[in-house]
Amino acid sequence: MKKNNEFIPACPIPIQQYPQIMLSHGGGGKMMHQLIEKMFVETFKNPLLDQRHDAAVLSCSSEKIAFTTDSYVINPLFFPGGNIGQLAVCGTVNDLAMAGACPKYLSVGFVLEEGLPVETLWQIVRDMQATALECGVQIVTGDTKVVDRGKADKIFINTAGIGILEYTLEINPREVREGDAVIVSGDVGRHGMAVMAVREGLSFESDIESDVAPLSGLIHDILSEGIHVHCLRDLTRGGLASALNEISQACQCGIHIEEAAIPVEENVHGACEMLGFDPIYVACEGRFAAFVPSEEVQKTLDVMRGHPSGQGACVIGEVRKGSAGVVTMKSKIGVDRIVDMLSGEQLPRIC
Amino acid sequence: MKKNNEFIPACPIPIQQYPQIMLSHGGGGKMMHQLIEKMFVETFKNPLLDQRHDAAVLSCSSEKIAFTTDSYVINPLFFPGGNIGQLAVCGTVNDLAMAGACPKYLSVGFVLEEGLPVETLWQIVRDMQATALECGVQIVTGDTKVVDRGKADKIFINTAGIGILEYTLEINPREVREGDAVIVSGDVGRHGMAVMAVREGLSFESDIESDVAPLSGLIHDILSEGIHVHCLRDLTRGGLASALNEISQACQCGIHIEEAAIPVEENVHGACEMLGFDPIYVACEGRFAAFVPSEEVQKTLDVMRGHPSGQGACVIGEVRKGSAGVVTMKSKIGVDRIVDMLSGEQLPRIC
């Protein structure tokens, strides 16, 4: 998500007077009221949020809705290609999209550490709203808590989201079946390595940018074309390998992929080698795997490649009968190996 | 919320092996999988959660839904009368009830600090489910993040909730009008003082118990009786005084209350005097204010007093024309004074 040279509005609360978040910003009194009214309500502005009630009352035009939540604790807050605010909107929007839903409404829960620069919060809030506009979602309800210095890490954000199911298609790991093609929407591992590179203070010949992006537009294109997608899964924590393992267990089939077919950018490859990571376990924030019937592969690829978020779409493998819950990969030197789920922690706090 | 001597099930993940939460419990691999499957999915068990998808797909039987969120950062996690888990369910259920909605679905986002005893998490999760059952809500989707030691305070919980609007009645601060009676559902200030007493290491002659409780049953009783409630507001952060100030601003009327009419338990009064608090600014977690037309006051009180959560219901004041946004109170010695919003922080981290 690249930024143009844009006009940056000034922080709407007086930062000369209170440059940092204080406990009183979460106390239910005047300070909190000002923060909520001037920064959050003004920036996220919409009639639903403006109800100023304990809960937002929403119209629901569909009999089926999707509901999801994620907390974001990424460190550092700002990384090449994005920040925690964009991530908090994209992540939840993408989870809704993976269920085949059209994202509509978000809630936001901020946990702020005393001492957080108000200017930092303002930058995050602004980018949340810009990303929400890009995704066509409204932030309709929220909550703010402030904890004492040393009891959180600057800012944690939770978003929950509601989406509308416009299609009757059942999109679910259990729908995956033998013969389905496994498609990835683009190169993998970029988000995790972008964050790690900043954290480790590494600089590569060409900087690695996170792939963080909303996927709802691309999913909408696929579904509106009438493609019979069986399952969609974004490649977040645990990366491609963990996503395939989870789906393989749920559908009780085997999944076989080819290492040579998995797109990984050269600088990501280099960073992975340097830090000892395998790119198929590294989180993306703007990539997904789609499981589609083999006869609809070409149509799916055409639709995906026609969208900016799916230009690098390609087939990386297929679903096979038997060996339920087992993911295998043909390596670049032609040897088959089992791709297991990680047992430990590879990359803490990358989302 | 009192507990009986109940059967306490053993922790479903092996605590001998891993007695504390580790970073790998949030890493997207096997450890996280075990925590989610064995502890969360097993305990919150329901078919919607069991979809194991990025988002839960829900039926929506109503054209209007309510949506809300709250993060819970209370310190200490356990206090007389409840814990953070019960609070996280009740708080969000109550916010939905205050919009006149029947609470249906919750999401849960855990932020866990490395080193949190797994047994503590298990106790909280169990109590969340018990409270959810009591409220008739299902926990249908969730997320878990683990942050390194010293970067959070044991556990933070976010819940978001969806409720169904069964009645067409408009319940909203802007519906409040001149002549409305202000009713509180019971004694105020207990939750905040119960937490403060533990935190300050005070022991009173009789221990103060938090009033934390779900209010959705009581609100359902009021609405199903056809009472034309104009507004409902739970008395959480900032207490009764802040709630009345917010509503007075939204409806552009004045609100006048009588100090002598506000129920405050004697031990709460004593604790407030000792610690220098005014009980009308102290948070409750199981109390609300209702604004009802004067001709329906008796009926409302009858219904409220017939429910365990509303036995102490009483009228404490009325809405007056003019002096928009101003709350006045006749003190016990007969003098009128303005009840302002707090400007600073009185009680950090009580919810």
Q: Is A143 on the interface with B (CB under 8 A)?
A: yes
Domains, chain A, ranges and CATH? Answer: 25-165 (3.30.1330.10), 173-338 (3.90.650.10)
Interface contact B242-A28, CB threshold 8 A: yes
Residues of B in contact with A140 (CB under 8 A): 67
Q: Is A149 on the interface with B (CB under 8 A)?
A: no
Q: In percent, how much of chain B has pLDDT > 90?
A: 80
- Kindly tell me if the per-residue pLDDT of A157 is higher than 60: yes
Amino acid code (one letter) for B180: D
The residue of chain B nearest to residue A351, with distances taken between CA atoms, is B145
Q: Which of B27, B28, B142 minimises the CB distance to A69?
A: B142
- Kindly tell me if the per-residue pLDDT of B309 is higher than 90: yes
Interface contact A348-B148, CB threshold 8 A: yes
pLDDT category of residue A2 using cuts at 50, 70 and 90:
very low
Lowest average pLDDT, out of A18-27, A153-162, A312-321, goes to: A18-27
Dist. CA B314–CA B290, nearest whole Å: 10
Interface contact A344-B29, CB threshold 8 A: yes
For residue A252, what is the DSSP state?
T
Q: Please state, as a whole number, how many other Cβ atoms lie within 10 Å of the Cβ of residue A5.
A: 5
Lowest average pLDDT, out of A37-51, A89-103, A293-307, goes to: A37-51
Assigned token pair, B127 = 């109590």
pLDDT at B132: 98
Name every residue whose Cβ is closer than 8 Å to that of residue A326 and which is 6 or more positions away in sequence: A248, A254, A255, A338
Q: How far is A6 from chain B (nearest CA, A)?
A: 32
Q: Is B202 on the interface with A (CB under 8 A)?
A: no
Q: How far is A54 from chain B (nearest CA, A)?
A: 5
pLDDT at B334: 93
Q: Is A153 exposed, middle or buried (0-12, 13-18, 19+ CB in 10 A)?
A: buried
Dist. CA A134–CA A217, nearest whole Å: 10
Element (H, E) at B221: helix B216-224
Chain B contact probe: residue of A71, A251, A284 with most B CBs at under 10 A: A71
pLDDT category of residue B2 using cuts at 50, 70 and 90:
very low
Average pLDDT across chain A, whole number: 93
Span A31-38, average pLDDT: 92
pLDDT at A5: 59
Half-sphere exposure of B138 (CA within 13 A, CB side): 16
Sequence-ordered alpha helix ranges (H) in A281-325? 297-305
Sequence-ordered alpha helix ranges (H) in B230-350? 239-251, 266-275, 297-305
The residue of chain A nearest to residue B74, with distances taken between CA atoms, is A147
- Kindly tell me if the per-residue pLDDT of B201 is higher than 60: yes
Contact B9, B38 (CB under 8 A): no
Q: List pLDDT tens digits, range B116-167.
A: 999 999 999 999 999 999 999 999 999 999 999 999 999 999 999 999 999 9
Span B213-224, average pLDDT: 97
Interface contact B140-A346, CB threshold 8 A: no
Q: List pLDDT tens digits, range A183-241.
A: 999 999 999 999 998 888 876 656 899 999 999 999 999 999 999 999 999 999 899 99
pLDDT at B133: 97
Dist. CA A246–CA B337, nearest whole Å: 63
Q: Is A76 on the interface with B (CB under 8 A)?
A: no
Phi, psi angles (nearest 5°) of residue B96: -65, -45
Interface contact A67-B55, CB threshold 8 A: yes
Dist. CA A63–CA B57, nearest whole Å: 10
- Decide if the complex's ipTM is over 0.90: yes
- Kindly tell me if the per-residue pLDDT of A276 is higher than 60: yes
Contact B80, B210 (CB under 8 A): yes
Q: Is A195 exposed, middle or buried (0-12, 13-18, 19+ CB in 10 A)?
A: buried
Dist. CA A255–CA A321, nearest whole Å: 9
Span B97-101, average pLDDT: 96
Q: List pLDDT tens digits, range A18-31.
A: 899 999 998 888 88
- Kindly tell me if the per-residue pLDDT of A344 is higher than 70: no
pLDDT at A62: 82
- Kindly tell me if the per-residue pLDDT of B29 is higher than 90: no
- Kindly tell me if the per-residue pLDDT of A1 is higher than 90: no
Q: Is A31 on the interface with B (CB under 8 A)?
A: yes
Q: Can you give the pTM of this predicted structure?
A: 0.96
Interface contact A99-B54, CB threshold 8 A: yes
pLDDT category of residue B242 using cuts at 50, 70 and 90:
very high
Interface contact B345-A24, CB threshold 8 A: yes
Lowest average pLDDT, out of A41-50, A140-149, B292-301, goes to: A41-50
- Kindly tell me if the per-residue pLDDT of B1 is higher than 70: no
Average pLDDT across chain B, whole number: 93
Q: Which of A28, A141, A250 minimises the CB distance to B238?
A: A28
Span A123-144, average pLDDT: 97
The beta strand positions in chain A, using DSSP E, are 56-59, 64-72, 78-79, 82-83, 101-113, 138-147, 155-165, 181-184, 231-234, 254-258, 288-292, 314-320, 327-330, 336-338
Q: How far is B9 from chain A (nearest CA, A)?
A: 27
- Kindly tell me if the per-residue pLDDT of B5 is higher than 50: yes
pLDDT at B172: 92
The residue of chain B nearest to residue A111, with distances taken between CA atoms, is B71
- Kindly tell me if the per-residue pLDDT of B171 is higher than 60: yes
User: Which one, of B40, B170, B9, B184, lies nearest residue B106 by Cα?
Assistant: B40
The residue of chain A nearest to residue B288, with distances taken between CA atoms, is A54
Span B38-55, average pLDDT: 90
- Kindly tell me if the per-residue pLDDT of B205 is higher than 60: no
Chain A contact probe: residue of B35, B143, B229, B233 with most A CBs at under 10 A: B143
pLDDT category of residue B204 using cuts at 50, 70 and 90:
low
User: Which one, of B168, B174, B98, B108, lies nearest residue B139 by Cα?
Assistant: B108
Dist. CA B18–CA A283, nearest whole Å: 25
Residues of A in contact with B72 (CB under 8 A): 145
Q: List pLDDT tens digits, range B47-88.
A: 999 887 889 999 887 889 999 999 999 999 999 999 999 999
Which positions 306-345 of B are in contact with A (Cβ < 8 Å)?
341-345
Q: Which of B22, B99, B347 minimises the CB distance to A54?
A: B99
Q: Is A38 on the interface with B (CB under 8 A)?
A: no
